A and B are shown apart, each in its own frame.
Chain A
Amino acid sequence: EPEVTQTPSHQVTQMGQEVILRCVPISNHLYFYWYRQILGQKVEFLVSFYNNEISEKSEIFDDQFSVERPDGSNFTLKIRSTKLEDSAMYFCASREPTRYEQYFGPGTRLTVT
């Protein structure tokens, strides 16, 4: 069964460093998403992406964040200058054009020290 994959599974970085989180969505899906979950809290929407552009973003998704689909399979989230409060689990998700359920990857645990 096709699934969303994410790399790395765990990333440790120092405050102020740039990180890139990578995702490979399910191949026939056209809508892509990033969510984050701070430990012990609920899952929060960051950004949605369709047709090579951002379709919606939350107030969390400020200028420090950017997304890109550099080729036909990868979808990336970049955090330019990480802060301690960026420590969280980051989930990538994707969905088909005609259905609303989103399928999640296993997540990348980001730790900022």
Chain B
Amino acid sequence: AQTVTQSQPEMSVQEAETVTLSCTYDTSESDYYLFWYKQPPSRQMILVIRQEAYKQQNATENRFSVNFQKAAKSFSLKISDSQLGDAAMYFCAYIGGETSGSRLTFGEGTQLTVNP
């Protein structure tokens, strides 16, 4: 079974600084997708960024980018120029290709605090 691990329960960053959240996963599949979701205090799950395993290029969405290391099974999220609104719980999630169903498997989450 696939597993997703986020080893940092809490992280903090100063406003305008950069922070990196870590995620590792375990899978025997070659075709899969990885995501970062943000969960603010409202508890809404908001998609931040996605990465296809077959793409070597790291995904970028404005101030959010990933460092995808397929061989190491690592998928970290970098937030640049952190803003107060970035404060939230961040979940890393995995979904396999067609052969393994379409459920998302989530990590335990990292609570990010942004200090003014």
Contact B47 A42 (CB under 8 A): no
- Interface of A: prevailing SS: strand
Which A37-94 residues have a C-beta within 8 angstroms of B? 37, 41-45, 48, 55-56, 58, 89, 91, 93
Q: Are the C-beta atoms of A101 and B50 separated by less than 8 Å? A: yes
Which of chain B's residues has its CB closest to A50's CB? Answer: B102
CB under 8 Å from chain A, chain B span 37-52: 37, 42-47, 50
Q: Return 6 A-B CB contacts under 8 Å, by A number.
A: A43-B91, A48-B103, A100-B33, A101-B47, A106-B43, A107-B45
List chain B residues, Cβ under 8 A from A93. Answer: 45, 104
Chain B interface size range? 20 to 34
Q: What are the residues of chain A within 8 A of B43 when measuring CB–CB?
A: 37, 89, 106-107, 109
Which of the residues B47, B91, B103 comes within 8 Å of A33, measured between beta carbons?
B103
Whether A45 pairs with B104 at a CB distance below 8 angstroms is yes
For the complex of A and B, the 7 pairs showing the least CB-CB separation, nearest first, are A104-B45, A45-B103, A56-B101, A100-B33, A43-B106, A42-B106, A106-B44
